[in-house]
Amino acid sequence: MAILNVTPDSFSDGGTITSVDDALRHAERFVAEGADIIDVGGESTRPGSANVDPDEEVRRTLPVSWEISKRFDIPVSIDTTKWQVAKMVMEHGGAEIINDISGLRWDPRLAEVAAGSNAGLILMHSRGDFDKMHSQPPVEDILSEVGTGLRESVACANKWGVADDQIVLDVGIGFGKTPEQNFELIANLDKLVAEFPQFAFLVGASRKSFIGKLLGDAPPGERLSGSLATAAIAAWNGASIVRVHDVKETAEVVKVVDAIKSQL
């Protein structure tokens, strides 16, 4: 899954895509480099980011999603926590997947949109509201916490009519977890995969701050090696999707991981 943020303030690539033409150039490169999904986001969720009005979020994302879906044979996901945005971009922008970092905690009607359109629905584990999700005090048992949260999200989705085969689960790397807990989740992802055997898992660790801290406070643009390490181990431990900034390098890493695993 390639990250395509049309935001002015995302932590790694904010402000780099300022027009639909810019977005299409990025999308073309992502497709050529081996992306299977393009994730379009119109609201940054980095620490300290500001909440975006739904109309503005639609203005940023809908034209980009529509042009990508027209020009490339690749599914588009809309990265949003608001049902109005998801509905507009699904109906008029060609998106096929909803990517919700709140796991339906903030807006359960996202599940209604997914059920009504038979869209894919990515449910991510996070804690707290928009303003405080990165400043939550750490829990003692992160694997248990993530498992409980994901079960609650799945139950909510099912209640609104979303089938299990529409759902992908995301452990929420970097959202309310300590750096050590982020590494713990990647190292033990196979346990969560076994706990939820009917669902595919997504891991999004690309360029995140816990990697930078481990690598001597490296800035986002200098976290490639660490990001590739997390992608490789996540894939080895059962992740079906990795959400990344660096598509070519990650696609090559995952190809090698798959080749090695096939010999077991």
How crowded is residue 198: how many other Cβ atoms within 10 Å of its Cβ?
9
Domains annotated on the chain, with CATH: 2-261 (3.20.20.20)
For residue 46, give the amino acid letter. R
The band of 46, judged by pLDDT with boundaries at 50, 70 and 90, is: low
How crowded is residue 139: how many other Cβ atoms within 10 Å of its Cβ?
16
Q: Write down the pLDDT at residue 192.
A: 98
Q: How far apart are CA 2 and CA 6, in angstroms?
A: 13
Structure tokens at 72: 């490339």
Q: Write down the pLDDT at residue 49.
A: 59
What is the pLDDT averaged over residues 96-122?
97
Element (H, E) at 171: none
Answer yes or no: are the C-beta atoms of 95 and 117 closer than 8 Å.
no
Active site residues: 208, 243
Q: Lowest mean pLDDT: which of 46-50, 134-138, 187-191, 248-252? A: 46-50
The residue among 236 and 11 whose pLDDT is bigger is 236
pLDDT tens sequence across 249-263: 999 999 999 999 999
The band of 160, judged by pLDDT with boundaries at 50, 70 and 90, is: very high
Residue 7 has pLDDT above 90, yes or no: no
20 Cβ neighbours under 8 A, 6+ residues apart = 63, 64, 67
What is the pLDDT averaged over residues 78-90?
97
pLDDT tens sequence across 21-40: 999 999 999 999 999 999 99
The band of 136, judged by pLDDT with boundaries at 50, 70 and 90, is: confident
Q: How far apart are CA 96 and CA 77, in angstroms?
A: 6
Residue 14 has pLDDT above 60, yes or no: no
How crowded is residue 80: how many other Cβ atoms within 10 Å of its Cβ?
30
